[in-house]
Amino acid sequence: MDTPPTSLDEIRRQIDALDERIHDALVARARLAAQVRAAKGSDGPTFRPGREANVVRRLVARHDGPMPATVVVRVWREIMTANSRLQGPFSVAVATDAAAGQGIELARDHFGTLTTLQPVASVARALNALTEGRAQIALVPMPADTPDEPWWRGLGAGAAPQLNIVARVPFAPDQRAGSALLVGRQAFDPSGEDHGFAIVESRAELSQTRVRALLEKAGIGVVGFPAAIDDPAGGSLQLVELSAYLGAGDARLAQVAAAIGEGGHVRPIGGYAVPLDLARG
């Protein structure tokens, strides 16, 4: 068994030795990140939110000692984002009206101090930066925060690049209010514990109660209805938050679309890893 240090100088020597071991591990991790880029090729996404969520969950689950778990989350967010930048260009377009004006702060907390952030005045400009390749990720408001700007209606459809919701920030909520979504030119990256989003389209009037009933009958859990667009002619688009992520090939979505009838369509548009609840440990 190790003998506890008996002097301040000895304690500091042990801390210095630990610092060097931590630094060696960071250097080794960065080298492995370069190998990841070579292994997945240039077509693979730089940002893997599902993978990152699982890394943080695993570390928080094994965490012990007096250091707050929030520090562990912040340190590893910096490490993971720094390693992602080694795999290719990476910048984030931030709609500055997101999260009651806290969009830049949320982006900086999630993507670290060195990631290039592009502040833009609207969601439309953030998504344009994404589709035009000037950014790899766009940070946008929660749909319920922009009822007059249904930015979500074009996601998951149309010509390439197809846009999807890929994450929600913050992943480990703290004392600050507000949250936002991240949109990317990539498929959703499941973490195994996720919520999903889907757009339910109908040509005839369709109530939320009816949509919920059809989804639940198909075995799909519903969290809520963040936003909707009503067509004066009677049809509608409803954004539904689901209790699990569902991909485009899920047969249950086709079942719901068939039950809606002519013009019925259910389009998945991504989702997010369920955030950590650090209060539960």
Each of the 281 residues of the chain gets a pLDDT tens digit; together they read 566 767 999 999 999 999 999 999 999 998 888 787 777 766 678 899 999 999 999 999 999 999 999 999 999 999 999 888 877 788 999 999 888 889 999 999 999 998 999 999 999 999 999 999 999 999 999 999 988 889 999 999 776 678 999 999 999 887 666 899 999 999 999 999 999 999 999 988 889 999 999 999 999 999 999 999 987 666 889 999 999 999 989 999 999 999 999 889 999 999 999 999 886 54
Q: Which domains does the chain have, with CATH numbers?
A: 194-273 (3.30.70.260)
Confidence (pTM): 0.91
SS (H, E, C) the chain: CCCCCCCHHHHHHHHHHHHHHHHHHHHHHHHHHHHHHHHHCCCCCCCCHHHHHHHHHHHHHHCCCCCCHHHHHHHHHHHHHHHHHCCCCCEEEEECCCCCCCHHHHHHHHHCCCCEEEEECCHHHHHHHHHCCCCCEEEEECHHHCCCCCHHHHCCCCCCCCCEEEEEECCCCCCCCCCEEEEECCCCCCCCCEEEEEEEEECCCCCHHHHHHHHHHCCCCEEEEEEEEECCCCCEEEEEEECCCCCCCCHHHHHHHHHHCCCCEEEEEEEEECCCCHHHC
